[in-house]
Every structure is written in C-alpha cells, then in structure tokens.
Amino acid sequence: MSLRFALTPGEPAGIGPDLCLLLAREQQAQTLIAIASAALLRERSMQLGLDIALIETGPGRWPQHPAPAGSLYLWDTPLSKAVTAGQLDPANAAYVLQTLTRAGQGCLDGDFAGMITAPVHKGVINEAGIAFSGHTEFLAELTRSEQVVMLLATRGLRVALVTTHLPLKDVAAAITAERLSRVARILHADLQDKFGIAEPRILVCGLNPHAGEGGHLGREEIDVIEPALERLRAQGLNLVGPLPADTLFTPKHLERCDAVLAMYHDQGLPVLKYKGFGAAVNVTLGLPIIRTSVDHGTALDLAGTGRIDSGSLQVALETAYEMAQGSRKLQATSHK
C-alpha cells in the first residue's frame, strides 16, 4: 500500500493549478490527493490543452494506490468566485485557506502522511481582511507549534536558517545563544525523525567573514556561537563549526554533512539556489506534520500559458515522500 499525501494548489489565479495538472500526466510514486476546485482544474486543463481525468475522493473513501498516468485524485473544494488566470480576486482568499486547513488537519488526523503546497499570494489574502503572513505561520497555528525552522533543500544539499527575513543590520543582534540552540535542536531532531538520519552531521556557518578570524573580524563566534555549539555537543548533537561560509560550501565539506546551518538568509540560500536552480524546495521543520513547498511564487503572468517548469514541485513531492518513508523507517527501527 502506498502512502497518501495532500497537494494544495495555492493561489487559484496563479500557476499552482497548472503545476498540479502537469504532474498528473505521469503516475506518482505515492498516492497524491489534490485539494482544489474541480471546476477550476477542469477549466485550466482546457486552457492548457491537457486531457487529465479528475477522480473525486474525500474522507471515508480515500484511494489506496497512486492514480494512473493522465489522472488526478481530487478532494473538491469549491471556489467562492470563478477564476480568471492571472487575475487576483480577494473573494477566493477563504478558499485558499480552506485547502490548507483540510490538508493540515488531514495530516494531524492521519489521513495524509504529509502535505505539499504550491505558492499562495499573501497580499490578496490580506486584502480580503484576513490576517495572513504565510504558509509557515498558518500551519504553525493550526498545529499549535511554538517554534518552526525554515529549511531549503535540493538534491544533494540542505540548508537551514537561524534567522530568516531580517534586514542585514539586525542579524547579529538576533543571533542569540537561545535562538541558535533552539534552531539547531529542531534541525537535529527533524533530520532524525523526518529524514530518518540516525546521527545527523551538521555544518555550522560563522556569522562574520572567516568566522571572525579569532575576533579580529567580529566577536559573535567567540562570545555567542562557539559556546552555544559546545553546550549542544555535550548534549549529543554532531555540530561542526563555526566554519567560514566561503569555504564551508565546497565539495570536500558538503559531501560529509547532512545539513548546513546558516546564520542568515543570503548566507546560505544563494548557494543552494544556484546548485538547485528550478528544483529547490522549502521544508518547514518543527511541525508535527510533514510539509514541503515549492520555492517560487505564483507567477501570475504565466498562469494558463503552459510556459512553466514543474521541477520545483516534483522535488517538493519527492522530498515529502522521502521524509515520510525515513520517518517510518526510523520508527520501525526504534520499536525493534
């Protein structure tokens, strides 16, 4: 029996529905359920010139095997208003959130082994009068998770972030021993629990050039990072560093690590996106469920045109499958 996963197409006027339909041309390795409007997918399928059979399903009648090539399992979730590709409409904000709620709650209830999300448009949801800052925060609230961590991954590299969307001038003050320790513990735990890596080896970037060069280029490594890492090592975490970021991201280091922990957004992610251009995936760690996402936006101008690449969504699917299988493998080993 295959595992079952939820797929949410995100903003209905964007390329998310197109990506779902393009993926359905070939059979997936696991059972994938799109949580979307049947009317939307039928219309978009006609626009794209695709012949995709929609097989409706839902609670109490879940399929046990992947859909055949050229078909897509669908949990019909009606729109509030008909959609024109490329044109945002706040009227459908509640629809977007309902698809996320159905997927997230389904994971909590055990209906799905994980969820994969296509991009949403935060602005139009807020225009509808709904406070929304993103998938991560929404799912953290839904699952009552206090702490989450952003991990970007592509084939052969995983990069987690201590700080995310902060101005560069605020980064140093945000890297506290408490924050660094919390992020490192979540990363270590989820590499074990969700990727099935029994003893993860994590490379940690320094904050400053040359990791501070003994204090001559900054003291954050000496005063904050190194002491925090020492305490974590004493608790059993395999953390290497802090290392200069310019030499850490080289093959001789990366081939012997399970993940890199970067101090800030543009320290780690340019390397990952260069390595995995068009095939990077966003993973939310710290949730009690598995959630992966594409690493691109809604691309409103490309919706309905067929001029898109489904590579990022395919990697998001593969990563969710890998995480679910790794988690089950580790659980089976621990119960022996």
pLDDT digits (tens, 9 = 90+) for 163-180: 988 899 999 999 999 999
Q: Which of 328, 297, 302 is nearest to 119 (CA)?
A: 297
Q: Is 335 annotated as a binding residue?
A: no
Name the domain count of the chain.
2
Residues 141 and 8 in one domain: yes
* pLDDT of res. 256: 87
Query: What's the CATH code of the domain at 151?
Result: 3.40.718.10
Q: Is 121 annotated as a binding residue?
A: no
Q: How confident is the model at residue 331 (pLDDT cuts 50, 70, 90)?
A: low
> 87-102: per-residue pLDDT in tens?
999 999 999 999 999 9
Q: Is 253 annotated as a binding residue?
A: no
Q: Is 165 annotated as a binding residue?
A: yes
| pTM of full prediction above 0.95 | no
Average pLDDT over residues 107-125: 96
> 298-314: per-residue pLDDT in tens?
999 999 998 988 888 99
- Residue at which a domain ends, from 252, 270, 286: 286
Residues 137 and 183 in one domain: no
Residues 191 and 72 in one domain: no
Q: Is 273 annotated as a binding residue?
A: yes
Residues 100 and 38 in one domain: yes
* pLDDT of res. 328: 65
Q: Which residues contact 88 (CB under 8 A, 6 or more apart)?
A: 11, 13, 121, 123, 124, 300
Task: For residue 259, list its beta bridge partners.
Answer: 202
CA dist list (Å): 307 to 139, 301, 303, 316, 326: 30, 10, 8, 20, 34
Q: Is 188 annotated as a binding residue?
A: no
Residues 208 and 310 in one domain: no
Instruction: Give the structural domain span for 44.
Output: 1-145+290-335
Encoding tokens for residue 290?
């598995």
Residues 216 and 311 in one domain: no
Q: Is 136 annotated as a binding residue?
A: yes
Q: How confident is the model at residue 232 (pLDDT cuts 50, 70, 90)?
A: very high
